[in-house]
Amino acid sequence: MTRFLVRRLALAALVVVGVVILTFVVARVVPGDPASTWAGPRARPEQVEAARRDLGLDRPLPVQIAKYVGGVATGDWGLSLRTRRPVLEDIAQRAPASIELVTAAMLLALAVGIPLGLVAARWRGRSPDVLSRLVSVVGVSMPSFWLAIVLQLVFFQWLNLLPVAGSYDPDLDYTSPLRSVTNMPILDALLTGNWTVFTSALTHVILPAVVIAAYPAGVITRMVRASVLDTIGEDHIRMVRALGFPERSVFTRFALRHAWSPVVALLALVFAYALVNTFLVEAIFNRPGLGSYAASAIGALDTPAIVGVTLFVALVYVLGNLVVDVVQAMIDPRIRVA
């Protein structure tokens, strides 16, 4: 187990270094000059030159990369050209809101995907299966930016049922101000017992969460279905069946027990993808968070911020995978060999 862990950690570290270098190289070839972005819209040439020196852009590329990698390791992710604050601080401030949104979406996706997948597996080949597969295909085929617009149209514009923008009604800041604990508005409201904000935040999260949930829900449905069917096909289940246990009990007592492991393995991956989805969705719903931060960074060619966000998401993914691998290896020793 220790050997597996060490190997896996070393591998993750290697990937992280590769990720840092790749993002940096990509960002540095961006057209447009970070120094002139920093110096401002109508800056004179001398000011741009001064900014170039201040930002260390006058040094050779390998030196810049080495400095950046070193900085990342020590928590210095550079300064955002747009907000002029440390990128890591910006990310730390905005990531929680996105993580909360994605978590809400994932819960929604699980709530839809698991039952749907089970139904499909239980009645394989029959109409519930066909219907569930159709729903899951529509889920993974949904252009989220479009769904976001359509839901706004229907639920706000036409039905006037749900709010469209922000994470909660900002007027509440005057009447029942929210104390920031985690920077996740729903959780903060819950922790501080601020029910007015809690209600407002929940109603605000519904539409964006539904949009982000569409894709994971489709994937989870497929995965649950496939995984259950896979387990049912395994020898020991056939044995159970041969022993004359009723089908329903084969399904619930034996098959499902083994079916959830691949689903868990998938969750880290889907979470990271959903996080990227916020790039498109948060801006449309005018929610603060990593996604809208990234979207405006791209708009402003704010390279340190773009690199920072890219790095952050990649790290989330690498770490998520690491955790899943380790957990699975602890549960199932066979995986360690593979």
Of residues 240-279, those binding another protein (CB under 8 A): 252-253, 256-257, 259-260, 262, 265-266, 269-270, 272-277, 279
Tell me if 227 contacts another protein by CB under 8 A. Answer: yes
- The smaller minimum CB distance to another protein, of residues 188 and 200, is found at 200
CA atoms of 310 and 312, how far apart (whole Å): 5
Footprint (CB under 8 A) of another protein, residues 170-209: 170-176, 196, 198-200, 202-203, 206
CA atoms of 98 and 293, how far apart (whole Å): 10
CA atoms of 93 and 282, how far apart (whole Å): 15
Nearest distance from residue 338's CB to another protein, in Å? 10
CA atoms of 214 and 67, how far apart (whole Å): 41
Site map (CB under 8 A) of another protein, residues 3-42, x = contact: --------x--xxx-xx--xx--xx-xxxxx--xx--xxx
DSSP conformational letter for 166: S
Choose which of 217, 301, 304, 308 interacts with another protein (CB under 8 A): 301
Count of C-beta atoms within a 10 Å radius of residue 21: 14
Footprint (CB under 8 A) of another protein, residues 41-70: 41-44, 47
> What is the full DSSP assignment across 65-117?
HHHHHHHHHTT---B-TTT-SBHHHHHHHHHHHHHHHHHHHHHHHHHHHHHHH
Footprint (CB under 8 A) of another protein, residues 91-150: 93-94, 104, 107-108, 110-111, 114-115, 118, 124-125, 130, 133-134, 137-138, 140-146, 149-150
Decide if 226 contacts 129 (C-beta within 8 A): no
Q: Which stretch binds another protein (CB under 8 A): 59-67, 68-76, 223-231, 239-247?
A: 223-231
Interface size with another protein, residues (CB under 8 A): 128
Site map (CB under 8 A) of another protein, residues 139-158, x = contact: -xxxxxxx--xx-xx--xx-
Q: What distance, in Å, lies between the first and last C-alpha atoms of the chain?
A: 13
- The smaller minimum CB distance to another protein, of residues 5 and 206, is found at 206
Closest CA to 19 of 85, 68, 92: 68
Q: Which residues contact 54 (CB under 8 A, 6 or more apart)?
A: 38
